[in-house]
Amino acid sequence: MSNAPPVESQKPVEIEKIVDAFDSSDEAKIVAICREAHPGDVEEAFERLDEPNREAILNFLPVELIAELGDYLPAADMEKRLQTLPEEDQAEVLDSMSDDELVDLLQEVDEEERRSDLIELLPEEKQVVSEELLQFEEETAGGRMTTAMAKIHEDETVGEVLQSLREKKEDTEILSRIYVVDGDDRLLGKVRLRDLAFSPEETRVLEVADRDLTAIEARADQEEAAQMVARYDLLALPVVDADGRLLGVITHDDAIDILEKETTEDMERIGGIGGERGDLAYLQTSVTGHVKRRFWWVLVLAFLALASGIIMFAYEDTLKAYFVLAIYLPMVIAAGGNTGGQSATMIIRAMSLGELGPQEFRRVIFKEMRIGMILGGLLGIFVALQIQFLLPDGVVDEGISVFRIAIVVGLSLLAQITTSTLFGAILPIGARAAKLDPAVV
Amino acid sequence: MSNAPPVESQKPVEIEKIVDAFDSSDEAKIVAICREAHPGDVEEAFERLDEPNREAILNFLPVELIAELGDYLPAADMEKRLQTLPEEDQAEVLDSMSDDELVDLLQEVDEEERRSDLIELLPEEKQVVSEELLQFEEETAGGRMTTAMAKIHEDETVGEVLQSLREKKEDTEILSRIYVVDGDDRLLGKVRLRDLAFSPEETRVLEVADRDLTAIEARADQEEAAQMVARYDLLALPVVDADGRLLGVITHDDAIDILEKETTEDMERIGGIGGERGDLAYLQTSVTGHVKRRFWWVLVLAFLALASGIIMFAYEDTLKAYFVLAIYLPMVIAAGGNTGGQSATMIIRAMSLGELGPQEFRRVIFKEMRIGMILGGLLGIFVALQIQFLLPDGVVDEGISVFRIAIVVGLSLLAQITTSTLFGAILPIGARAAKLDPAVV
């Protein structure tokens, strides 16, 4: 008989089915579907619930299901539910979580005392790991890494290593992250299980190791780590301290999470949405929460637009005399916003994808200037022609030169679009240069 | 002596160093750094070159380097370079590429004849695979999958499987994707190398297999496949035909590529950029290329803004009588664009993250309506108060009620923002319901 019994995996279940079960308020049905479905699917169904509903459902899920979903549900919800449990159940849930998710949950706890209490519920080994991981800022490689990996000493033989790994084999993730270190824990390379399995037992592990030292420092930004995983197609990226000592790994699935989160932030900034999204999905966020994140920019942009209004007002006499200009004013204003948005979008995305470095900034600005001039020139010519040849009779008072109006509107569009395109590019580049987040502006 | 010699990996090299080498035009230096650096870094440095420079560099890189970079460089560039090579070198490059990247390159070739010529250069086995993969649309799971996996029959024993895998062990990727199939090639489950390595030789593989049937149909959208990889934290997702027969896999690194590409598309649509980005990075795209993708929307939005202008013009008498309204017109116009953009961004991103299903659309629209009313109400009150109490003397002609102006502007903002917020949400939802890409609108 094999000592690895066949595993019946949790099946993917259509999210709609889980949501329907949630909506039914039938406790038995909900528990059953949460047990059957993959935790990833349950997580996604939870993303469609508002806070009272999430709380209600979590409150009647049995502890063993809470433990299983621990790595998947929002940390704040988990912490809330933990508070309702007796200590031994809290300990069970915490112990079942992977160390990186556990640390996310601990970071969610604001009260120092409550956090210590939670840590004390953990087995000693996990206490040490948690304390270590908590030292790193949340958004750094160290703050996102897991210590679930196998660290083996350079002098060990293939046989010795296989023997020790055999004991860990139920820990599914570890065996795809086997690293060789020296006596000081410094990273020397990585070993794949296949190289061990297919090599003579007496071989020293370093001989079959891939001396790949690709790693990231623990204090580096998590986005940099995720980009390295993407660029080098890694399963896991080792995280080291300043002396090259192996501390943990960033895994391929964490990299996807990080990239998704950073991309969401970029998009929200481009869309004029402020603040942090945090853990919560769109439907999980309350109306007040949404309003808070949007109102600030609406207000700022409204008062910026007031500037255009004041300029317009200052030219009262001109505008009243050449009232046909009023037709084209909204166009000039909108074209500025639109083209600035276009170039900002392009540059922010290119920076996030690592396509642009500081060396390229001059070229980018020069390029956007040319693009802006061409866009502005084209639209300017288009609209000038329209004014010159397609303006209905009676729109322009007698005695006013249509040709002059066409030239003025055309040139305004050229100037407005060139400037806006240029600024759309300069703002994110300037923010990056000033070491701010490029998408904040 | 081990039969797996230690591998000296290509090291990560700072992109800036590679770019500097490229800029130096020193052929020996460029070849040396391309040899030393990880292909992922070379790819990123290539993203900073325009077309003539890419062509120049590719043209003097030796064939063995072209072969090594084949999976990383833009397919169009690769195909151009191939045309300059003698047939045997073309064959070497093509044979070194992974099957999914090879198919991307073949899809890049427009001429039917040239494509057949390229396929004929391949070893027979790869010809068959390529022809098979070419049958799937480029943006489907089938079009993105690779056939680099191990397929084993349910009746084989652990010993037999290990023996046959031993021969493939140099193929680094395959051993993390071992699937068990029945006599008709139908997927029965997956096996991890560790389960084989640590099980008795005479065990039948099905006994140690994880009967996980998570898979995606070949004709499904690639984005769906990538989301499944992300949701279930998979290393590889099996791709099957309508009868459940195993055809290939989507890997974790492909999933990242797909998600990055889809996200870029979403962001570009939100930013008002049309068309397809294709393979090329920002700097790789010519000024004309950029203008082409932006001008269409600039033009459409400009003529939409013309509508506002025409409405303004129609109220010539009112506007001339209450000219103070001109101050607030740009604000009302801009607030519409900004709040519509906010809600469109939120909804498009939430849909891409799989946070919203058709069941939720009514709730979303109701939610955005409330958000819009609150945002519009708040800004309306703010601005009305500003008009009532902070308007400088002389701005409003005598005999005109400031209070009425405040009410009119406030209500306009409320109406404009509520409508825009609602439409910003309805447009992407409507597009999804009409089965269009939600980010196209």
- pLDDT by position in tens, chain B (length 441): 333 333 444 567 888 899 999 999 899 999 999 998 999 999 999 999 888 899 999 999 999 999 999 999 988 899 999 999 999 999 999 999 998 899 989 988 888 899 999 999 999 989 999 998 999 998 899 999 999 899 999 999 999 998 888 877 556 567 778 999 999 999 999 998 888 888 899 999 999 998 888 999 999 999 999 999 999 989 899 999 999 999 999 999 999 999 999 999 999 988 889 888 877 899 999 999 999 999 999 999 998 889 888 988 899 898 888 989 989 988 998 899 899 999 999 999 999 888 898 889 999 999 999 999 999 999 999 999 999 998 887 788 778 889 999 999 999 999 999 999 999 999 999 988 876 555 544
Give the N- to C-terminal CA distance of chain A in Å, as an integer.
62
Residues of B in contact with A43 (CB under 8 A): 231
User: Which residue on chain B is closest to A345 by alpha carbon?
Assistant: B271
Residues A329 and A405 sit within 8 Å (Cβ to Cβ)? no
Residues of B in contact with A230 (CB under 8 A): 253, 256-257, 260
Average pLDDT over residues A90-115: 90
Question: Does A386 score more than 90 pLDDT?
Answer: yes
CATH 3.30.1330.10 fits A315-433, yes or no: no
- Given this model, what pLDDT does residue B299 score? 93
Contact A353 B281 (CB under 8 A): yes
Say how far apart CA A367 and CA A375 lie, in whole Å.
12
B77 residue type, one letter:
D
Residue with tokens 């074209």: A335
Out of A197, A259, A281, closest to residue B350 by CB:
A281
Out of B192, B330, B363, closest to residue A283 by CB:
B363
- Given this model, what pLDDT does residue A441 score? 42
CATH code 3.10.580.10 region(s) in chain A: 150-266
Residues of B in contact with A235 (CB under 8 A): 176, 235, 252
Contact B169 A395 (CB under 8 A): no
Residues 6+ apart with CB under 8 A from B399: none
Residue B11, SS3 per DSSP = strand
Q: Per the structure block, which two tokens stand in for A359?
A: 């060396």
CATH code 1.25.60.10 region(s) in chain A: 15-139
**Interface ipTM:** 0.85
Q: In what order do the strands lie in the sheet with A246-251?
A: A216-217, A236-240, A246-251
Contact B346 A11 (CB under 8 A): no
* Nearest residue to A106 (alpha-carbon basis) of A151, A143, A158: A143
Q: Which helix (H) or strand (E) is B77 found in, with range?
A: helix B75-83
A-B contacts at Cβ under 8 angstroms? 420
Contact A298 B232 (CB under 8 A): no
- Given this model, what pLDDT does residue A439 score? 53
The CATH superfamily label for domain B15-139 reads MgtE N-terminal domain-like (1.25.60.10)
Better-predicted residue by pLDDT, A2 or B217: B217
Q: In what order do the strands lie in the sheet with B178-181?
A: B150-153, B178-181, B187-191
Residues B309 and A331 sit within 8 Å (Cβ to Cβ)? yes
Average pLDDT, chain A: 89
Say how far apart CA B354 and CA B331 lie, in whole Å.
34
Looking at the DSSP assignment, which residues form a beta bridge with residue B221? B140
- Backbone phi, then psi, for A248, in 5-degree steps? 180, -165
CATH code 1.10.357.20 region(s) in chain A: 315-433
Instruction: Indicate if the alpha-carbon torsion angle A401, A402, A403, A406 is positive or negative.
Output: positive
Residues of A in contact with B3 (CB under 8 A): 198-199
Q: pLDDT tens-digit profile of A52-84?
A: 899 999 999 999 999 999 999 988 899 999 999
Residue with tokens 């990075």: B281
CA B121 from chain center: how many Å?
A: 31
Say how far apart CA A166 and CA A159 lie, in whole Å.
11
Q: Is A106 exposed, middle or buried (0-12, 13-18, 19+ CB in 10 A)?
A: buried
Say how far apart CA B377 and CA A407 lie, in whole Å.
40
CB atoms within 10 A of CB B156: 16
- Given this model, what pLDDT does residue B11 score? 65
- Given this model, what pLDDT does residue B396 score? 80
- Given this model, what pLDDT does residue A212 score? 83
- Given this model, what pLDDT does residue B441 score? 42
Say how far apart CA A386 and CA A183 lie, in whole Å.
78
Q: How far is A118 from chain B (nearest CA, A)?
A: 27
Residues 6+ apart with CB under 8 A from A3: B198, B199
- Given this model, what pLDDT does residue A395 score? 79
Say how far apart CA B133 and CA B119 lie, in whole Å.
12
Contact A297 B192 (CB under 8 A): no
User: Which residue on chain B is closest to A350 by alpha carbon?
Assistant: B282
Q: How far is B125 from chain A (nearest CA, A)?
A: 25
- Given this model, what pLDDT does residue B51 score? 86
Fold type of domain B150-251? CBS-domain (3.10.580)
CB atoms within 10 A of CB A91: 17
Residues of A in contact with B346 (CB under 8 A): 268, 271, 273, 282, 290
CATH entry, A150-266, from 3.90.226.10, 3.40.50.150, 3.90.1150.10, 3.10.580.10:
3.10.580.10
Out of A192, A298, A383, closest to residue B375 by CB:
A298
Residues of B in contact with A16 (CB under 8 A): 357-359
Residue with tokens 């619930």: A49
Question: Does A357 score more than 90 pLDDT?
Answer: no
Q: Per the structure block, which two tokens stand in for B76?
A: 């169009």
